Amino acid sequence: MIFLDANFMINLYIKEHEYHDRAVKIWNNIREHEKIVSNLIIPEVITVLNVKLKQHKDLLKKVFYDMTNNFIILNDTDSYYKGFLKVLEHEKRLPLFDGIYIAIMKDLGIKEIVSFDKHFDNENGIVRIH
């Protein structure tokens, strides 16, 4: 199982984004693996695409349906509290979503995350694919 981070998904869908080519290569390498996303990834990706990157609504729809139909989506609300505690305990500032994703991965024994965020490198037991 491989956990997919929001920044990977954004780079995968947006051709003009900084790591798009790298995201496509990674996608081709993990195509046959079981891919997992948090419930939170979907609204995080859609919000960034809509508000920050101002993408067309047709792309938003495509991304939403692609994510909801092609990935295992975790019902992970039980991990939100643990993620918040992870953020408070982390030696550096850590985004709340990323703290939750780390907690989810540890709870489920997921060892790999596709992400361009370097702070995942400092987590014991997690290998960042980038």
- Two tokens, residue 16: 């003009």
Q: Is the dihedral of CA 2, 93, 15, 42 positive or negative?
A: positive
Greatest Cα pair distance in the chain: 40
Domain containing 113: what range?
A: 2-129
Q: Select from 31, 105, 44 the least CA-distant residue to 23.
A: 31
Q: For the chain, how many structural domains are there in total?
A: 1
pLDDT at residue 127, rounded to an integer: 95
State the Cα–Cα distance between residues 71 and 64, nearest whole angstrom: 11
User: pLDDT per residue over 20-67, tens digit each?
Assistant: 999 999 999 999 999 999 999 999 999 999 999 999 999 999 999 999
Q: CA-CA-CA-CA torsion for 90, 94, 96, 100, nearest 10 degrees?
A: -60
Predicted TM-score (pTM) of this structure:
0.90
Per-residue pLDDT tens over the stretch 68-89: 998 999 988 888 888 888 888 8
Q: Domain with 110 in it: what CATH number? A: 3.40.50.1010
- Specify the 3-state DSSP secondary structure of 37: strand
